[in-house]
Amino acid sequence: MPENKNKVNVNVEPARVSVGEDAYTPLVDIYENADGTTVLVAEVPGAKQESIDIRVDKGVLTLMADGRRPEPDESFSRTYTGFVGGEYFRAFAISDEVDRDAIQASLQDGLLVITLPRAAAAKTRKIEIS
Amino acid sequence: MATFRWPNGWDPLAGFRTMQRELEKLSGRTVGAARGIGGGVYPPVNVLIGLGEIIVECEVAGMNRDELDLSITGETLKITGTKKPATQEPAEGESACRYHRRERGMGDFSRTIVLPEKVDADRISASLETGILTIRLPKFETVAPRHIEVS
């Protein structure tokens, strides 16, 4: 009963609320601009825009992306494999100074750029003596 | 080379891997905890050989068309490019940005791939999508296998 066996496999597999056990850790650059905006640049080659999931919860920014690509036609043989597509996962603790509602992200050429502006309340403020 | 993935993300050894990781955590090792993709400035390549064509894939996240250069001489394919930093050089009077973390790397790279057979250089096509450069190198018609009808 190959069909039944298949079904068991599907049921056994835990709900994929997150990425698999062997997700890639994307390489990142994090820098802060002069105006206090933090920019996070992550390499997610192979990932399409609709597969990217960025969440901020309790001071943790999680980044998930799916860079899996369809397997080549069976007539192709892999002569050399330097990389394979996979899922990406990485989490970052973000400062309280970041304005959660103003976080923006863009994707181009496999590069995900997340800008985390500093909240107005966290900016340096001069206090006048009254 | 030793990368084999089960289709559809199904991994029969996931349980064992979790166990291995837990044990490594106990012994204070972090081996295998993080898998990275890409080698900084040295981009990994895949070579796939089909019946009628050879496909070379190259992971070049963050690079655009102008920063890449492809050339072919005989059976030698050369991919050169420049990986630029994510930030622009600060303009006059502006203060530079401050890096917290820098993993991506930057600089020039060059990769040379010697193809196993001759390809038709005039019909080579290359596309760049989601940070992956795909080069399709069609073999010569005479090299490609041809079906022969028995008359």
> What confidence tens digit (pLDDT) does each residue in B112-139 have?
999 888 888 899 999 999 999 999 999 8
Contact residues on chain B for A45, CB-CB shorter than 8 A: 37-38, 59-61, 130-132
Q: What pLDDT, on a 0 to 100 scale, did the predictor assign at position A18?
A: 55
Asked if the C-beta of B19 comes within 8 angstroms of chain A's C-beta atoms, the answer is no
> What confidence tens digit (pLDDT) does each residue in B30-44 have?
443 344 555 556 788
Domain B38-86+105-138: which CATH class?
mainly beta
Interval A59-74 mean pLDDT = 86
Q: Is A44's CB within 8 Å of B131's CB?
A: yes
Contact residues on chain A for B46, CB-CB shorter than 8 A: 78, 80-84
Q: Which domain holds residue A92?
A: 30-70+84-122
Asked if the C-beta of A109 comes within 8 angstroms of chain B's C-beta atoms, the answer is yes
Domain ranges of chain B: 38-86+105-138
User: Is A55 part of any domain?
Assistant: yes
Q: What pLDDT, on a 0 to 100 scale, did the predictor assign at position A2?
A: 43
**Residue A39: CATH number of its domain:** 2.60.40.790
User: Is A130 part of any domain?
Assistant: no
User: Is A75 part of any domain?
Assistant: no
User: Is A21 part of any domain?
Assistant: no
Interval A17-42 mean pLDDT = 81
Of A26, A28, A84, the CB nearest to B3: A84
In this prediction, the residues of chain B whose per-residue pLDDT falls under 50 are 1-3, 29-35
Split into its structural domains, chain A has a count of 1
Q: What pLDDT, on a 0 to 100 scale, did the predictor assign at position A6?
A: 39
List, as one string, the DSSP characters of chain B.
Answer: ------GGG--TTHHHHHHHHHHHHHTT--TTS-EE-SBTTB--EEEEE-SSEEEEEEE-TT--GGGEEEEEETTEEEEEEEEPPSSPPPPTTPPPPEEEEE-S--EEEEEEEE-SS-B-GGG-EEEEETTEEEEEEEBPTTTS-------
Of B10, B35, B131, the CB nearest to A111: B131
